[in-house]
Amino acid sequence: MSPGPLLLSLLLAVSIAGAEEFRYRHLDGVTGLGNVVVDSKGKETTIIIRKDSDEKSLAVLDAFQDAQMCGTEKPCTIRGAYFGQHLILLGEFTSDEKRTKYVENGAATEPYRDFKVTGFKVVFPFYRFVTAPKGNAIDGPFLIEVHFGFDTLFPYGISFDKKPIDLQNHSVKHKEE
């Protein structure tokens, strides 16, 4: 066997290996940066997602954020009920730590790193708080929906450039945490 195919295979494996898996959550209602990833050791890093990230993965992520499904750091108990939203970003940091610029009367400066998204996965089952009929967003009562696939979370699908995205590419079955 000539070294060409072997070298090409090795380079491909190294480029794929650069992408890591991070648990993702979006901090809703903050005045500063809201995108946070957590690595396998539990270290949190605030990120700014690069514009050259995978567009279909970002379209799915945007659909979750639009529906106020922001991910959780880990499964927890809320009001006595099990709750977890396990969202996974695949990608890599593309910068060392930076700090946001000071803006008068703005959010405090904070550390962040640039992040290139190469994939997005959802671990099912996926839990979602919903205000019960005749309830309100502050006092409830609330229901917890449990979803076992994209078909109930987004029954009409998610599209990018007016074409449906194959959501099965973004789905992972639950593993014990």
pLDDT along the chain (177 residues), means of 10: 40 51 87 89 95 96 92 84 91 96 89 97 91 85 90 94 93 70
Taking the CA atoms of the chain, what radius of gyration do you get in angstroms?
19
Phi-psi region of 68 (alpha: psi -120 to 50; beta: other; left: phi over 0): left
Beta strand 140-147 with 126-136: parallel, antiparallel or unpaired? antiparallel
φ, ψ for residue 45, nearest 5 deg: -140, 130
Q: Would you state the pLDDT for residue 76?
A: 85
Spell out the domain ranges in the chain.
19-172
- The answer to whether the beta carbons of residues 58 and 117 sit under 8 Å apart is yes
Q: Kindly report, residue by residue over 24-51, the tens digit of the pLDDT.
A: 999 876 767 899 999 999 999 999 999 9
pTM of the model: 0.80
